Amino acid sequence: MNRISMLLVAVAAFAFGCGDNLKPGTPSDGPPPPPPDSGGNPPPPALGTMIDRMGRPAINTALNNPFNPDTAHAGMRKQAYNELADRSMWATQFGAEFAISLGLIDALDDMCGNQAGADPQTPEATRYNLLAGLLADDELYVNSSTGMCLVYLAVEARALVPAVPVLCGGRKPSFDVIDVSYTALVKGIQAVIGMQFVTDGVNADDGAASDTDFPFFGAPAT
């Protein structure tokens, strides 16, 4: 074997013996790609039309066309409320309807005007606008600056009535949110903080709820 042939054999042996083990066609300026079965997470799926939103329970039921005898139209409005993903339009599209319903529900305790936490002398045309706008903004608010969490809607109550104590609000599993909602709609937000509840007669779930032990709710009824 001449010197040229020996040199070519040596170069070939070096290339195969000390190569980077890249497969044919793999770029040599970076790490090899992962095998097909160990790729990254797939992209999130595209979201479709929102079908429901449940910030505060019973508000859509109680204030969105509750007295409309045209049940088909009432149902369409409730569905439109659930599907409206644009938060900036919640009060614009539903605040006026909520205010009308609040005026009717307010009369249940024979004290019109106490419900919104405002002066009963406020003109009737605007008396319910404040609470209607607040409830149309369908979110749960939590004041994390305090650990005093005694009642549902406490943050909203303070927004309407500054004299209300500073509480964390939110919704603990043990809160009877329907009683609180009825109370706010009928008697006023002050009655919520005073725990002078209008009740639905249901004091607790069948299963014992816990505010501290996961999964927080009791076993389903059998």
Which tokens go with 166? 């500073």
The C-alpha atoms of residue 115 and residue 127 are separated, in whole angstroms, by 9
For 89, which DSSP code?
G
86 vs 108: CA distance, rounded Å: 33
Q: How far apart are CA 184 and CA 169, in angstroms?
A: 14
Contact yes or no for 102/185 (Cβ under 8 A): yes
Task: Give the domain ranges of the chain.
Answer: 59-193
The Cβ of residue 139 has, within 10 Å, a number of other Cβ atoms equal to: 12
Per-residue pLDDT tens for 26-84? 555 566 666 665 567 888 888 877 777 778 888 999 999 999 999 999 999 999 999 99
| 101, 107 contact by CB (below 8 A) | no
Segments of the chain scoring below 50 in pLDDT: 7-22, 24
pTM of the predicted model, to two decimals?
0.68
